[in-house]
């Protein structure tokens, strides 16, 4: 049971069951232990384009590991450890030269932090988002109050 298993919502002084039909949309990623890779640019410095980078703290000097990348199997695999040179909102640039001799990226993969610049290992942490959005059908007028109560083993405090 997770955060998306909310059972009741106090809305305008009356209890209502939380369902998608009255404006509640649950958000739940099953697990997120690494940033999903959406593209790889093979060059003198390898560039990984990833989603959900803002949920991780990639930094210059980190050792990262690319895993589960599907490639065309024409050369060396892109699934290996890399050293981070720079990080942007959507890309992680690494120092390894994959411009030749490496397989072409096809799909998938995850980029995970292994250790920081001081060789301190990063713990394995699930940073998946759990929560919900509330539609206009659930929100009352300006004077209304609304409180959501969540039950679950992994609730967020």
Q: How confident is the model at residue 151 (pLDDT cuts 50, 70, 90)?
A: low
According to the model, what pLDDT value does residue 9 have?
A: 41
Name the 3-class secondary structure at 22: helix
Q: How confident is the model at residue 118 (pLDDT cuts 50, 70, 90)?
A: very high
Domain spans of the chain, in order of start: 3-29+129-149, 35-115
Name the 3-class secondary structure at 53: helix
> Contact at 8 Å (CB) between 11 and 138?
yes
Q: How confident is the model at residue 143 (pLDDT cuts 50, 70, 90)?
A: low
Evaluated on CA atoms 55, 40, 67, 94, the torsion sign reads: negative
The architecture (CATH level 2) of 35-115 comes to Beta Barrel (2.40)
pLDDT tens digits, 35-45: 999 999 999 99
pTM of the model: 0.68
Evaluated on CA atoms 150, 152, 155, 157, the torsion sign reads: positive
């Amino acid at each position: 049971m997770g955060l998306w298993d909310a059972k009741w919502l106090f809305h305008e002084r009356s209890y209502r069951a939380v369902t998608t039909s009255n404006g509640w949309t649950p958000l739940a990623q099953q697990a997120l232990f690494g940033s999903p890779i959406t593209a790889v640019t093979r060059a003198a410095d390898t560039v990984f384009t990833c989603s959900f980078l803002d949920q991780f703290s990639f930094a210059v000097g980190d050792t990262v590991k690319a895993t589960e990348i599907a490639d065309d199997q024409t050369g060396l695999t892109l699934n290996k450890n890399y050293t981070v040179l720079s990080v942007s909102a959507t890309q992680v640039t690494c120092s390894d030269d994959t411009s030749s001799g490496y397989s072409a990226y096809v799909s998938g993969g995850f980029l995970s932090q292994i250790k920081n610049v001081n060789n301190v290992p990063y713990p394995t942490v699930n940073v998946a988002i759990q929560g919900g959005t509330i539609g206009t059908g659930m929100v009352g007028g300006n004077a209304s109050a609304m409180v959501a109560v969540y039950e679950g083993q992994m609730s967020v405090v």
